[in-house]
Amino acid sequence: MTYRAIQVGTGGQGGRWCDTFLPPNIEKDLIEVVAAVDVNEDAHENAVEHLGVDPEDCYTDAETAFAEHDADFCTVVTPPWTHEAVVDAAVEHDLDILSEKPIADTLEASVRIAEKVDRAGLKMGVTMSHRFDRDKTTFRRRLRSGEPGPLDYLVGRFTCNARTYGAWGAFRHDMENPLLVEGAVHQLDFLADMAGAKCERLYADTWLPEWAEYEDDVQATVQMRFENGVRATWEGAKANATTLNGWGSDALRAECRDETLVLDDREIERYPYDQAGETVVGVADADPEPVPLDEQDAWGNTWLVEQFVEWLDTGEPMATDVESNLQSVALVEAAIESSERDEAVDPQALLAETRESVEL
């Protein structure tokens, strides 16, 4: 079955949906884009050129587009603080939803959205693209294979030289918690996914060096403990002297019983346990083995669109359905609260408290 979609957001990241993520799925006859929405009429050209949308089917408001077209689902590729209004309109018109991360700009709004979608009996997925990159997927599949043995702990790094105003997009230099909100949303998510359990304790320490041209903290260390006993440490920075692992070139290390697995700049190596090489002096004479990256025809958001369509076909939820993805939002919210309070936070308790306090 080919599903009829309305693309909401065709400028900025929405432009990438138009020219990169959606066309392969159109070519496979998985979807047909019947209308497009963006408040900037100039951005409509992305939908016209790359998705074949008729200019007459381009709108500046989602409500009108939804009312005038018979569609199966909509995408939401707009600023996070606008997501709830688009979801409200989609619910009103009985449309399933595929949204860019995060679900919304706050945990409260994210919980409201998840509840509204559930009450309406609709499906909503969230595109956590980093988790479904080729390198992270290969890494996750290696861990899940059982060959490395039980997982003990994880270490992640995302450190950059972007200290000068505008180096990371001017708006991030002026916003609150830019590193946690704009950076950790992906990194903490894929660490939790690798751990294979919900986070039960999180401590975050964030700060702002005097040489960083930001209004709020852009350096952080985060410690996480998961319900299965796995631990994780994450280092994030935007004001270092050099970029060791920037956007899309993450560093990740998994310490398992039978091997150490290392991802660095999209290359993976494994260090098998060697009893004969045990030492606490100097550096072991280790010879790592490369782990070939998996092969398939789609990764990231392109693949996530496929997963969403498969959910529509089979009824089996995708891994990043809106209810599951509340965990990602809760991790970021817990990190912000932990840093502000200078104490550990239980993301599950935070999520439960938010559910109880939110009113629809």
Is 345 part of a structural domain of the chain?
no
Q: Is 248 left (phi over 0), alpha (psi -120 to 50) or beta?
A: left
Is 336 part of a structural domain of the chain?
no
Question: Do 18 and 141 reside in the same domain of the chain?
Answer: no
Instruction: Judge contact between 188 and 335, C-beta under 8 A.
Output: yes
Q: Tell me the longest C-alpha to C-alpha distance in the chain.
A: 71
Q: What's the confidence (pLDDT) of residue 173?
A: 96
Question: Do 88 and 42 reside in the same domain of the chain?
Answer: yes
Could you say which of 230, 259, 291 is where a domain stops? Answer: 291
What average pLDDT does range 74-95 have in this prediction?
97
Task: Using the Cα atoms of residue 299, residue 91, residue 8 and residue 100 in order, give the sign of their dihedral.
Answer: negative
Q: What's the confidence (pLDDT) of residue 119?
A: 97
Question: Do 162 and 207 reside in the same domain of the chain?
Answer: yes
Burial class (CB in 10 A: 0-12, 13-18, 19+), 175: middle
Question: Do 135 and 282 reside in the same domain of the chain?
Answer: yes
In order, the DSSP letters of 215-277 are SS--EEEEEEEETTS-EEEEEEESBSSS-SS-TT--EEEEEESSEEEEEETTEEEEEE--GGG
Q: What's the confidence (pLDDT) of residue 287?
A: 86
- Eight-state DSSP code of residue 2: P
**Residue whose structure tokens are 């009985």:** 94
Residue 282 — very low, low, confident or very high, per pLDDT cuts 50/70/90?
confident
Residue 359 has pLDDT above 90, yes or no: no
- Span 213-272, pLDDT tens digits: 999 999 999 999 999 999 999 999 999 999 999 999 999 999 999 999 999 999 999 999
Could you say which of 258, 273, 291 is where a domain stops? Answer: 291
Residue 286 has pLDDT above 90, yes or no: no
Please give the structure tokens belonging to residue 306. 């496929």
CATH number at residue 202: 3.30.360.10
Tell me the one-letter amino acid at 343.
E
Residue 276 — very low, low, confident or very high, per pLDDT cuts 50/70/90?
confident
Residue 149 has pLDDT above 80, yes or no: yes
Residues 6 or more apart whose Cβ sits within 8 Å of residue 261: 139, 142, 143, 148, 253, 254, 268, 269, 270, 271, 291
Residue 198 has pLDDT above 90, yes or no: yes
Is 28 part of a structural domain of the chain?
yes
Mean pLDDT of the chain: 96
Q: What's the confidence (pLDDT) of residue 280?
A: 87
In Å, how far are 125, 131, 186, 229, 330 from 200, measured between CA atoms? Answer: 24, 20, 18, 9, 11
Question: Do 116 and 156 reside in the same domain of the chain?
Answer: no
Please give the structure tokens belonging to residue 124. 């909503």
Could you say which of 242, 265, 291 is where a domain stops? Answer: 291
**Packing angle between helix 107-120 and helix 83-92, nearest 10 degrees?**
10
Query: What is the per-residue burial (b if ≥16 Cβ within 10 Å, else e) of 313-334?
Result: eeeebbebbbeebbbbbbbbbb
What range does the domain containing 80 cover? Answer: 3-122
Please give the structure tokens belonging to residue 287. 């010879």
Question: Do 98 and 239 reside in the same domain of the chain?
Answer: no
Q: What's the confidence (pLDDT) of residue 281?
A: 86
Residue 11 sits at the vertex; the CA angle it makes with 52 and 113, to the nearest 5 degrees, is 100
Is 334 part of a structural domain of the chain?
no
Residue 284 has pLDDT above 80, yes or no: no
Please give the structure tokens belonging to residue 207. 């700060």
Tell me the one-letter amino acid at 17.
W
